[in-house]
Amino acid sequence: MIAIIDYQAANLTSVATTLRKMGAEVRVVSQPEQLAAAERFVLPGVGAFDPAMRVLRQRGLDEALHELVIEQGRPILGICLGLHLFARSSEEGNEPGLGWIDAQVRRFRTDGRSNLKVPHIGWNDIRLRKPHPLVEGVPDGATVYFAHSYFVQCEREEDVLTTTHYGHDFASAIQVRNIVGIQFHPEKSHRLGKQLLGNFLGLAG
């Protein structure tokens, strides 16, 4: 069973629907005691960093996930804001993140001299930086759908799974042990998105 974590962010339903259409057993959960039966977790979301972290802590979901993901090694996938929550901190707010990856969340900068628009919305390509089962069968240069103003800046290059160029190269997917995160939206990325989600379903704990 896959537990999709409900922390009052948007976009949970579309991710759940996509996974169910792929044949996965999915439950949307919001309480720590509901997590134990899950084999893997998805932390999706469209929203703001501080409110999301406050809900995770107020409900005790942060501690429960730490036990299951960090201590027990169950796989977790963070999507967009869900990926940001894995980091130590974010320029979007003041709350500390989960701190599972050695990274900070930065905002795209515009200098007034370029046509760079924030948020970054639309289709863009991903460049593979290392092999991993999450991106198995995904061609280098494949296009996926983005909608974000912030990105994760990893301290360790080896944690970066794919990069994308938007004004500069940024990490569009990361992997640290059993923790994987993607900046783009697989539920909106058609065949490639389903390929990535299917790969996540097969990740070993």
Write out pLDDT tens, residues 53-84. Answer: 999 999 999 999 999 999 999 999 999 999 99
- Measured in residues, the chain has a length of 205
Domain range annotation of the chain: 2-201
CATH of the domain spanning 2-201: 3.40.50.880
Q: Of the residues 80, 84, 92, 148, which is catalytic?
A: 80
**187 in catalytic set:** yes
Cα torsion at 75, 20, 142, 73 (round to 10°)? 0
Residues with Cβ within 8 Å of 46's Cβ and at least 6 positions away in sequence, in order, are: 9, 10, 11, 80, 81, 147
Q: What is the pLDDT of residue 13?
A: 87
Q: How many whole angstroms from its chain centre is CA 178? A: 13
pLDDT in tens, the chain (205 residues): 999 999 987 778 889 999 999 999 999 999 999 999 999 999 998 889 999 999 999 999 999 999 999 999 999 999 999 999 999 999 999 999 999 999 999 999 876 656 789 999 999 999 999 999 999 999 999 999 999 999 999 999 999 999 999 999 999 999 999 999 999 999 999 999 999 999 999 987 6
Q: What is the pLDDT of residue 45?
A: 83
Q: Of the residues 84, 120, 148, 185, which is catalytic?
A: 185
Is the peptide bond preceding residue 75 cis, with omega within 30 degrees of 0?
Answer: no
Q: What is the pLDDT of residue 113?
A: 59
Name the residue among 100, 106, 42 with its Cα closest to residue 71.
100
Instruction: Go through 56-81 and write b for each residue having 16 or more CB atoms within 10 A of its CB, e for each that does not.
Output: beebebbebbeebbbeeebbbbbbbb
Q: What is the pLDDT of residue 6?
A: 93
**63 in catalytic set:** no
**185 in catalytic set:** yes
Q: What is the pLDDT of residue 32?
A: 97
DSSP for residue 45: -
